[in-house]
A and B are shown apart, each in its own frame.
Chain A
């Protein structure tokens, strides 16, 4: 009869939490704080916390303080789904996160069913192609970024053939599937297609393979740590061809970990605290002061996500959950209206974003912006 106690205990704890207090608005962040997505997720979370602190210090949203709760998904889609469900059960005003595309794909129907806006950090192309009216990105999608990379490879790097190194998870596979047709369109030959494992430590064989392909350039699409390890292995193997990447490869974490090996890396950057935009740099300083390390683009995405919710709420002048999504869809948020958005952002009907982006290069261990690319539909 021992089971009774256990069940009783389970009942006791699982009963829903008390309703939120009147003068607060509850936001739940469902994010990868452990597992493969921990680096990205932690940045995202810190960005959110920074934004919430800022907003609360200035009187909150429409006079209400934000109560922020973070749920760890362990980078597991099943857990993510459950956590989003939980967030909605607990009456979240909007769902923030997650960052990885697989968990987003697993959980987005739940927010959609509940008609609650979900602001995610994912970049996989497929997410916004499912007609979900409640899903919003906080960064450019791979579909938006990859043509820019292909153009860059062709016009600036002048590469006739490219080796593609990607991480075999939803992020990497999505990017690989997006870049290859773009390369084809640009008339660039795919020299070699190298899949690597998430969490892979040893990249020597992969680097040799890339070297032997004699490609004119290498497109590296890996997560932070793997990017750094690959750059180190490439240097060890004496690869001198340009390393080109998208946002992650030029991120602060990769530069820190790869050391010398990161110098000379170039590519496209969606969001970067080193971009020649004062608001970005300002954000970077605040983040550094609070967390004692340099934020990557995920920190900025998290920060902007909160301000997107704030802007929409103030625009509709009431706390209407469904209204957040309706207001955001098709809107353009100008920095003059909401400085916290950092850069003018247009939200397309399908939840994709359009904003300026940058071309950058790593020089002497620092990311240097070399050009600013306009919005696709200015």
Chain B
């Protein structure tokens, strides 16, 4: 039996998503990429660096958004995964001499695989055990990065990490590399956009909203949960692969447990479960200190305070807030998810 026969005369299935292929989110991504391509003109190297850093962090936050925002899992190791990606890329490009593109792929693969290995035992028990396991993992990775000096440079870090080239075109300059980051971030965002609107995305949402019901509808919750976590971790690996050549120096400190917490806060600030949320969240986390120069180190309190207020007033974060505002302005109910 396939469907109730009473309505067998219904129109034939539209197998291809036709004009609906392009939606507001995709258009926003394209427009943003174009703007960011040209944005740094006249901004100086530092301004350009901050923009690039924002995008790189956005990639890590995007991954965590998949894990937390779509699949509802707390991962406390996003920064550690980013570290794995950054060290893998740094070592492969500077010590082994592999090109950046291959290193980028390897970084993603390693973090994806580690995500699977880590997630499998944890998720067998209960979803919140993932938080426990990732917490331990995060600290362990940090210790390895710090202690294994022969490989990671230990506390002294790794310097002189080369920047990639593009078909022979050197990307050593701040602007050229920024544009490269824009393109890579754009591509990664589009892949995620595609995933979220595919049946996978629907399954992720179902997992978050009601895993028990989802399982009763044949959704293999364990596999999807694991996938969400592993793909989310791979995005951290990708972010690390961009971070290393951007900063040209890495040491263990940006990959510590507190950084993982910070990334989680960025997801929530931007709006968990919104595709564009990570960009807003990372903006608050990375660029806010620039806007709050006058406040000095108070910016951390301000950032955390914003997150708390959002959680109380609007748990959907800045995206939810913007959506509400937009709905009020236009009188419409739906916003871009």
Taking Cβ atoms with an 8 Å cutoff, the residues of A that contact B are 1-4, 6-7, 10-11, 13-16, 33-34, 72, 74-78, 81-82, 85-86, 88-90, 101-102, 105-107, 109, 124, 126, 168-170, 173-174
Contacts and interface: CB of A to CB of B under 8 A. Distances in A.
Contacts of B146: 168
Interface string B306-337: 00000000000000001000100000000000
Contact of A13 (B42, B45, B53, B290): B290
A14 B286 CA distance: 12
Contacts of B326: 2
Given A6-B283, A34-B297, A78-B254, A1 B31 contact: yes
Contacts of A107: 249
B304 interface: no
B184 interface: no
Given A6-B279, A88-B45, 20 more contacts: A4-B35, A7-B32, A10-B39, A11-B39, A14-B51, A14-B287, A15-B42, A16-B43, A16-B46, A33-B297, A76-B254, A81-B247, A102-B156, A102-B251, A106-B251, A107-B249, A109-B159, A109-B160, A124-B156, A174-B156
B317 to A, nearest CB: 12
14 contacts: A4-B32, A4-B35, A7-B35, A11-B43, A77-B250, A78-B247, A82-B46, A82-B49, A82-B247, A85-B46, A89-B46, A109-B248, A170-B155, A170-B251
A101 B157 CA distance: 11
A46 to B, nearest CB: 14
Contacts of B250: 77-78
A3 B156 contact: no
B300 to A, nearest CB: 8
4 smallest CB-CB distances across A and B, nearest first, come from A86-B46, A14-B47, A106-B249, A89-B44
Interface residues of B, number: 47
A81 B157 CA distance: 13
A102 B155 CA distance: 7
B49 A105 contact: no
Contacts, number: 121
A2 B322 contact: yes
Contacts of B251: 77, 102, 106, 170
Contact of A15 (B43, B279, B283, B322): B43
A14 to B, nearest CB: 4
A102 B157 contact: yes
Contacts of A102: 155-157, 251, 253
A89 B254 contact: no
Interface string B264-305: 000000000000100110010001001100001100100000
B51 A105 contact: no
